[in-house]
Amino acid sequence: MNKFRKGAGLWLACCLSLLVLFSCKSGSENSGSGNAITIKINFKPGEKYLYTTKVNQKINSLNTTMDQSMVMEMVYAYEGEEGNNKKLKITYDHVAMSLTTPMGPVQYDSKTPEKSPADMAFMNELIGKSFSIKIAPNGDIAAVEGLGELIKSLSGNADGNTRAAMESQFSDTAIRMMMQNSFDLYPGKEIKVGESWGKKSVMGMGLQGINVNMENTYTLKSISNGKATVAVVSAMNLPATDMSAAAGVPMQIRMNGKQEGTMELDINTGQILSGKTTQNIEGQISGGGQTIPMNITGDVLINSKKL
């Protein structure tokens, strides 16, 4: 396996979980029947919720398969209202990753940092760090705060290149993209069973300039016992994009795919109680005179609980 294939495989294995970690969503309008409801963030003062997202994927390329899984747990603490916006403090609580690649296994868990690979030790510093966001009724991220303190605490005595990478990954734009895809399902209006609404967004892959276009369709399928079930269909598109700087070798990536599934929400609070989406993504990486096709299949699971 030459340098290009090694660079492509390692970079892809480490980043693709981030691609779908905060995704789900596209759009048309249909009429519904029955009583209309409003779904939005409506947490109460002092409330905290632990949101857990799990990603399981298989990446097939060149007759080889890379299995990977990732867990991200974040605490959402309600900090009050500013006009119509809700303010949440977001704290990283737990991160775990497991990758099986042709170059060997890679495992990381913030709960056992002493067993972490040396080149992933920087992730230990993420646990317990926080930033704040302000969310509009329609799920738009109105503002992001506290990133300067977050970057400073993470980078410490890091060199210029490492600090620049941190500033890119935790920039206002990058965090806004990440959190926008977490809250995009809120329609910002009353809806009835059978009605659909659409959102378009851009999802960052954690690297500057590598962004996926998302077209997202939600449909309110049912209302029962104070809970709403929402179906999700997402079209994903990453046009041909140069990622030489991120990967360390000359290469270009393109992808197209689809995700679909359902989510269950608490109507009173807007809390996402549980959800599952399945994905199927086709793409290719090219460079060094070669083109490597790939297929990615997997599941994204989300659940939350009140602390």
Backbone angles phi, psi at 151, to 5 degrees: -65, -40
- The stretches of the chain forming alpha helices (DSSP H) are 3-21, 147-155, 160-169, 172-183, 244-247
Q: Say which amino acid occupies 104.
A: G
Which sequence spans correspond to the domains of the chain? 22-306
Residue 3: what pLDDT?
40
Which residues is 204 bridged to in the sheet?
Answer: 211
Backbone angles phi, psi at 166, to 5 degrees: -65, -45
Q: ∠ at Cα 96 (42, 99), nearest 5°?
A: 130
Residue 272's nearest CA partner among 181, 185, 144 is 185
Predicted structure pTM score: 0.80
Q: Give the Cα separation of 3 and 280 in Å (integer).
A: 27
Place of tokens 């030459």: 2
Could you report the per-residue pLDDT of 112-147, keeping only the tens digit for each? 888 777 767 777 888 999 999 999 888 888 888 888
**Structure tokens belonging to residue 183:** 């809250």
Residue 6: what pLDDT?
40
Region of residue 259 (left: phi > 0; alpha: psi -120 to 50; beta: else): beta
Residue 161: what pLDDT?
61
**Structure tokens belonging to residue 95:** 């991160």
Residue 262: what pLDDT?
94
Terminal alpha carbon distance of the chain: 48
Could you report the per-residue pLDDT of 2-61, keeping only the tens digit for each? 444 444 444 444 444 444 443 433 333 333 456 889 888 899 989 999 999 998 988 888
Under 8 Å between Cβ of 237 and 256: yes
Helix, strand, coil tally for the chain in percent (to 5): 20, 55, 25
Q: What's the length of the chain?
A: 307
Number of H helices, E strands in the chain: 5, 14
Q: Give the Cα separation of 162 and 193 in Å (integer).
A: 49
**Structure tokens belonging to residue 184:** 């995009």
Has domain 22-306 been given CATH number 3.40.50?
Answer: no
Residue 298: strand, helix, or coil: strand
Residue 27: what pLDDT?
32
State the chain's maximal CA–CA distance in angstroms.
61
Under 8 Å between Cβ of 277 and 287: no
DSSP state of 304: E
Q: Give the Cα separation of 64 and 5 in Å (integer).
A: 12
Could you report the per-residue pLDDT of 217-266, keeping only the tens digit for each? 999 999 999 999 999 998 988 888 777 766 667 888 888 899 899 999 99
Higher pLDDT, 209 or 190: 190
Could you report the per-residue pLDDT of 172-205, keeping only the tens digit for each? 777 877 787 778 889 988 999 999 999 887 766 5
**Structure tokens belonging to residue 130:** 């926080």
Residue 156: what pLDDT?
62
In the predicted model, what is the mean pLDDT of the chain? 80
